[in-house]
Amino acid sequence: MSHFLSIGDLSREEVLQLFRLTASLKARQKAGDRGTPLAGRTMALIFEKPSLRTRVTFEVGMVQLGGAAVYLSAQEIGLGVRESVPDIARNLSRWVDIITARTYRHATVEALAAHATVPVINGLSDLEHPCQALADFFTLWERGMDLGRIRLAWIGDGNNVCHSLLLLAALLGTPLSMATPPGYAPHPAIQARARDLGGRLTLTTDPREAVEGADVVYTDVWISMGQEAEREQRLEAFRRYQLNEHLLGLARPGALVMHCLPAHRGEEITDAVLDGPQSVVLDQSENRLHAQKAVMVHLLGGGDV
């Protein structure tokens, strides 16, 4: 693995290796171990989209590993406008050791990787959010859940987070039931790739069917960044897909609730569910830090940590 652009870049064994590395880094951080496997290394953070979790976890993660991060906003760097993406990649490769990009078009991340001579991490694109999916499945793995036997239900939009979860579920053998409104299913190419990986995928338009008997229920916003013009249309299309106490009651007793955040409270999820005892959303959020540290160490050869 020379870049991390897609869950499809990983093998099952690499995923499990990253989980073990994540667990080690998390345990050491909790114990106050200030080991610095990336001392002297630098990372460029290219952000076309604003973020709380992605920016903080990458910046803090790099500092905890002994390195430093440089944040470059859309206004500062002007991807493809002020300067071409290949030129940006080639210049940054002369100054930094690794690049993380949070972009609209997935092709932008791919172009950065194609022209950079340092590793590139996809911090989110319109097609995938691999760091989120890695942290999510680690959250289940660290709880001792058998990922090949639990059933995960996705309720809502077939978006970038959904795509990465779909691919990672396939790699790990996790059955996945997805309920999306007509016209909002995951991209056909992602579905095909997941099935090629052996994914056990069930698609439906009925959220009750997807949730019934599930061990984990996951939802995300109905209106992602860049889709604001579709707000009214999406609110109407998704109104039956709210994750509330009634819908959650169809899952197995004690089923975990997941959301990648930020949440639009009262739209895709209710306060009672998001803040309830079955919610692990803050565990997911925390684990973004540790999972991304593992990816950085893995890509930069941080040695035995």
**Catalytically active residues, by annotation:** 102, 129, 132, 220, 260, 288
What is the distance between the alpha carbons of residues 37 and 271, in angstroms, rounded to a whole number?
40
What is the distance between the alpha carbons of residues 293 and 295, in angstroms, rounded to a whole number?
5
Closest CA to 262 of 190, 183, 161: 161
76-94: burial string, b at 16+ Cβ within 10 Å, e else: ebebbeeeebeebbeebbe
What is the distance between the alpha carbons of residues 167 and 101, in angstroms, rounded to a whole number?
20
Closest CA to 156 of 178, 123, 132, 124: 178
CB 248 within 8 A of CB 215: no
Number of CB atoms found within 10 A of residue 298's CB = 17
Four-point Cα dihedral 135, 296, 28, 136, nearest 10: 0
Running DSSP on this structure, what letter comes out for residue 187?
P
Specify the amino acid at residue 137: F
Chain-centre distance for alpha carbon 104: 15
What is the distance between the alpha carbons of residues 257 and 216, in angstroms, rounded to a whole number?
6
DSSP 133-156: HHHHHHHHHTTT--TTT--EEEES
Question: Across 81-150, where does the E strand assignment appear?
Answer: 98-102, 120-124
